[in-house]
Amino acid sequence: MKQNSKSDALYQKAVELIPGGVSRNTVFHRPYPHYAAKASGCYVTDVDGTERIDFANNMASLIHGHAHPAIIEAVTEQLHRGSAYTLATEAEVALAELLINRAESFEKIRFVNSGTEAVMAMIKASRAFTGKPKIAKAEGAYHGTYDFAEISQTANPFSWGDINSPNSVPLASGTPDCVLENVIIFPYNDIARTIAILDAHADELACVILDPVPHRIGLLQGTNKFVEAIYKWTRKNNVLLAFDEVVTFRVNYGGAQEKYKVKPDLTALGKIIGGGFPVGALTGRADVMSVLDPSQSKLLFPHSGTFSANPITMTAGRVAMELFDQKAVDDLNALTKKAIIQIENAIRLADVPISITGAGSMFRIHFRLSPPQSYREAYQRPAVAAIIGELLDYLFYKENLIMINTCACMFSTALTQKEVDRLSDAMLNGFRFIKPQLDELYSQHAIFP
C-alpha cells in the first residue's frame, strides 16, 4: 500500500462525508479502500494505476465482466431515448419473456431494483398468499438486508444455540423482538432436524426460503434429498417453497434449481439479470404472483418502485442474458472446473490443509482438510479469518488479483485460460506464503478435518 496515494487521499475525504467512508461494507479495507478508475473485460485499474484481474465481478453480478461492448451499445442507444418514464416499456416485456423461457417454474415475473428487494417481495408475497406470518430460513444464509431475511446470517458459536433448535440471531442492533419471533432457523442440508423444526411451526409458516448454493453457509450445494424433503413438507402443510437465486441463477441455464426434480413456488433473482445495472426480480407460480396484480378486485400486495423495470436495466439485462446462452453457461462452467482442478493441484504442491466447494461458475476456498458440510463447520473462527485476510491481501497487493472477501471467486465470460493460469500460480504462491501460520493453527487443532 502506498502512503499519499490517490486512494488514500480519496478515503480521507470520504470519511468526512460518508460513515466509515464507504456506502457498502464489502469494499471497506484498512488502512483505506481502493478506488476504481476504469475496467474492461476481466481487468480493473484503480486510481493509482494498478491493474488487477477481477475474479469477484462486483459480488457475482457481472456475468460478462466489465464494459461489454454489446451491452454498452444497447444501453447507449436506450439512453438517448430516456432512462426512466412514468410509463411501462417494451424493454421490460422483452426481458420478462426471455427469463420466463429459461426456467420451468417461472410463470409470471415482476422486476425490482436489487436482490434485497426481490427477497423482500418474495416474503411479502408469501404472507399475502398464505395468510400466515412466519418464514423459515437456513442458519448462516444471506438473503439481503431486509430485517426478516438477515436473521442469523452471522450467527456464531456464542449466539447460535442448540443445533436442534438454533437461535434467531439479529444482525443489526435494535432489531425488534417481533422480527426474531417470526423467523425460524434451521440447519441447512440436515433433513431430520429441519423437518422437526418446521413441524413445530407448521400452522404459522408462510414460506421456507432456500438458497440452492448458499455462499455464506459455505457455498455448499443443497442435496437432492434435502430439497425434495422440504418440498414435500411444504406441500403437506400449505407453505410455499421459496428459492433465493439472486447469486445462483448463473449456475445453470435455468438456474441452480434446474438440477432438482422439484420446483419452487417462488424465486428471487438479481445480479446477472441486470447486465451490470441494479436489478432484482420475483418470479414463480401464476396464482401466487397474482397477489401483486393491480387488476384484481382485491389487491393483496400493493407494490411499486420508481426505478423498477427501468429501460436501462431491462435493456442491459436482456442483452446480457441473451449472450449467456446454453453454450456460454457450459463454457464458463468448464473453465471454472479447470480453475478448481489447478488450484487443487496448488493445494497439494503447497501441502496446506485447504479444500474447495462450489457449483457452476463459482467456488470458495476453506481452510480445512475436507470441505465443510454445514454452516457451523464453514464458520470462520477469528484465527482462521485473520489468515484468510492475509491471503487475500497477498493476492491483491502482490499478485494483483481481486477475490470476494470470503475467499471466493465468481467467474465471468471475460476470463480465459490465461487468467486461470495466473490465478492458480498466484494461489500456489499465496498458499506457500501462509503455510507457516496454517501449520501452527492445525497443530493447535484450530483447523478441523
The one catalytic residue in 142, 260, 375, 394 is: 142
Strands 51-54 and 43-46: antiparallel
- 3-state SS, one letter per residue, for 301-358: CCCCCCCCCCHHHHHHHHHHHHHCCHHHHHHHHHHHHHHHHHHHHHHHHHCCCCEEEE
Closest C-alpha among 25, 117, 41, 36 to residue 313: 117
- State yes or no: is 132 an active-site residue: no
For residue 270, the SS3 value is strand
Residue 211: count of CB within 10 angstroms of its CB: 27
- Which of 46, 137, 271, 379 is catalytic? The answer is 271
- Quick one: CA torsion of 237, 242, 248, 252, rounded to 10 degrees? 70
Strands 205-210 and 134-138 come out as: parallel
| Cell numbers at 165, concatenated | 433448535
- Cα–Cα distance, 435 to 441 (Å, whole number): 10
**Cα distance between residue 194 and residue 190, in whole Å:** 6
Q: Which three cell numbers stand for residue 96?
A: 420478462
Annotated active-site residue 418? The verdict is no
46, 54, 211, 244: the catalytic one is 244
What is the per-residue burial (b if ≥16 Cβ within 10 Å, else e) of 243-269? bbbbbbbbbbbbbbbbbbebbbbbbbb
Asked about 203 being catalytic, the answer comes back as no
Cα–Cα distance between 234 and 194 in angstroms, integer?
12
Bridge partners for 66 per DSSP: 41
Is residue 449 a contact partner of residue 365, using CB atoms and an 8 Å limit?
no
Amino acid at 297: S
Residue positions annotated with a catalytic role: 142, 244, 271
